[in-house]
Amino acid sequence: MATDAGSMFDGEADQGSGGDRTGNVVVNWMENLSEAAYAYLLLLPTFLLLALIAFYPLLMTFVMSLRENRTRGAEPLGGFIGVENYVDILTGNARLAQQFLDVSVSASAPFVELGTPFLQQALFVTVAFAAISVFLETVIGFGQAYVLDKEFRGRRWVRVAIILPWAVPIVIQGMIFFLLFQPEVGFGSDLMQWLGVFGADPLADSQDAFIIILIADIWKSSAFMALLILAGLQSIDRNLYDVARVAGASPWQRFKRITLPLVLPALLVAMLFRTMDAMRVYGLIESTAGCTTVPSLTCLVVEAMFGGTRIYATAAAVAFATALVIGLMLLVYAVLFRDTEEGFA
């Protein structure tokens, strides 16, 4: 088996009748490598794959984003124009159906003016979605983690039930909430209209559809938060609670003084993961309300690519800007992490 594996990773040419002997040569060569060289050899397949799928495309995306859109002719990209595409998407001048960001500075009170409605600007949609969903998922995830932290009969099945939404394919998650809020089928819209929250056609209204997508995301992803928070909860020494109880601490004080500080590192990691994930939202939108109603950052990339306008350079600029926005979020968390001492490497 080792021989096979060796030949598999070190050269496809080793197949055939002479394969065994070549295999031995390869094995001998591997045996004589230093530890560091062997480690690099083992990492080679990983980095080849990542180079092909991640590093090279990322670099190419950046290069493409600096070129001109060319809508006629065989070649879709023109010459280098520097950061013009970025300027266009940040000032709301890109030839996109929905803008990345479209605000202008004004002289009077709030000093910024929205060029298009708030929920028709991809950056706001995505950041608002990430912030609200991660916040609510944290709260609900805490509740779920508390439930799962107790020992009770049937706990295993409660845990299955709580994890289940997390394991549902995105398209099915979207389908469930599409059907629930589709006025012809589901009662969700009737209920929300009765509560006075939704308008006449929720799936076509930016604000209503945004809420539907939030609900769908919270339904699916709270479990992920719950599991990571639960792991944090279970690593807490139970004696601390006994001591606090003897000292007369109320449950709220126990939560604030013991649970929260000790869970915080795990909580921050969970929130970080969820934020990164929420910033990429696309499939859920595509399978419920559609990208024109609720344009997220990824929606814009797909729209620019396949919208028939051939603005590939703009698509690349939006894609790379999306990566930058996520990178910025990462920095925010990195600063938070530094304060908590533990965690991040």
Partner 1 sequence: MTGDDRSTIGGDLPAARDDRPAMGDDDPTTRDDRSPTRDLRPDGGHSSVEEPGEDRSSTGTSAEDVLIEDEGGRELDRGPFQRWVDRSIEDPERVYRSMFYVATVFFLFTTLFPFYWLLMVALTPEGNQQDIILTPNGFNPGAFVEVFQVIPFHWYVFNSFVIAAASTAIVLVVASLAGYAFGRLDFPAKGPLMLLVLVISFFPPAAFFIPLNDLFNTSFVALEPITGDGTLYNTPGAMVLPLSAIFMPLAIFILTTFYAQIPDGLEDAARVEGTTRLGALFRVVVPLSAPGVATAGVLTFIAVYNEFFFSFLMTDGQVENWAPLLEGILGYQGQYEVMYHLMAASSIIGVIPVAILVIVAQEKIVSGLTAGGLKE
Matching residue, tokens 């994890």: 163
235-257 residues labelled b (16+ CB within 10 A) or e (exposed):
eeeeeeeeebeeeebeeeebeee
The residues pairing with 112 across neighbouring beta strands, listed in sequence order, are 105
255 binds partner 1 (CB under 8 A): no
Q: Among 295, 179, 167, which residue's Cα sits nearest to residue 219? A: 167
Binding mask 114-153 toward partner 1 (x if CB under 8 A, else -) reads: -----------------------------xx-xx--xxxx
Cβ(257)–Cβ(244) below 8 Å: yes
**Site pattern 294..333 for partner 1 (x: CB under 8 A):** ---xx--xx--xx-----x--xx-xxx-xx--xx--x---
Q: How far is the CB of 105 from partner 1 (least distance, A)?
A: 29
Select from 129-137, 177-185, 204-212, 252-260 the region that touches partner 1 (CB under 8 A).
177-185
- Which uninterrupted H or E stretch holds 71? none
Q: For residue 11, give both structure tokens.
A: 């050269």
Between 115 and 183, CB nearer to partner 1: 183
Residues in region 189-228 near partner 1 by CB under 8 A: 219, 223-224, 227-228
Residues 265-294 that bind partner 1 (CB under 8 A): 266, 269-270, 273, 276, 279-280, 282-284, 286-287
Nearest-approach distance from CB 106 to partner 1, in angstroms: 32
Total binding residues toward partner 1, as defined by CB under 8 A: 106
Quick one: 124 or 312, whose CB is closer to partner 1?
A: 312
Rounded Cα gap, residues 61 and 318, in angstroms:
10
Instruction: Write the Ramachandran bin of 32: left for phi over 0, alpha for psi from -120 to 50, otherwise beta.
Output: alpha
Question: Which range of residues in 38-46, 87-95, 111-119, 198-206 is near partner 1 by CB under 8 A?
Answer: 38-46
Q: Which of 2, 105, 109, 195 binds partner 1 (CB under 8 A)?
A: 2
Q: Which is nearer to partner 1, 114 or 249 (CB)?
A: 249
Measured CA to CA, the distance from residue 211 to residue 90 in angstroms comes to 26
Name beta bridge partners: 77.
Answer: 69
Instruction: Give the x-and-dash track for 230-249 against partner 1 (CB under 8 A).
Output: xxx--x---------x----
CA 134-140-145 angle, 5° bins: 115
| H helix count then E strand count, the chain | 16, 4
**Radius of gyration of the chain, Cα coordinates, nearest whole angstrom:** 26
Q: Which is nearer to partner 1, 192 or 297 (CB)?
A: 297
- Shortest Cβ 316–partner 1 spacing (Å): 5
Could you count the other beta carbons within 10 Å of the beta carbon of residue 159? 17
The least distance separating partner 1 from the CB of residue 260, rounded to whole angstroms, comes to 17
Instruction: Find the shortest distance in angstroms from Cβ 138 to partner 1.
Output: 13
* Stretch 53-112 residues interacting with partner 1 (CB under 8 A): 53-54, 56-58, 60-61, 64
Tokens of 260: 């929260």
What would the two tokens of residue 197 be? 């929250």
Q: Which positions from 5 through 34 interact with partner 1, judged by CB under 8 A? A: 5-6, 9, 27, 30-31
Q: Which of residues 155-174 bind partner 1 (CB under 8 A)?
A: 156, 158-165, 167-172
Minimum CB distance to partner 1 smaller for 110 or for 154 = 154
User: Going by C-beta distance under 8 Å and a sequence separation of 6 or more, which residues neighbour residue 66?
Assistant: 80, 81, 82, 83, 85, 313
Distances (CA, A) of 149 to 37, 102, 241, 248: 45, 46, 14, 22
- Residue among 112 and 167 whose Cβ is closer to partner 1: 167
Name which of 81 and 276 has its Cβ closer to partner 1: 276
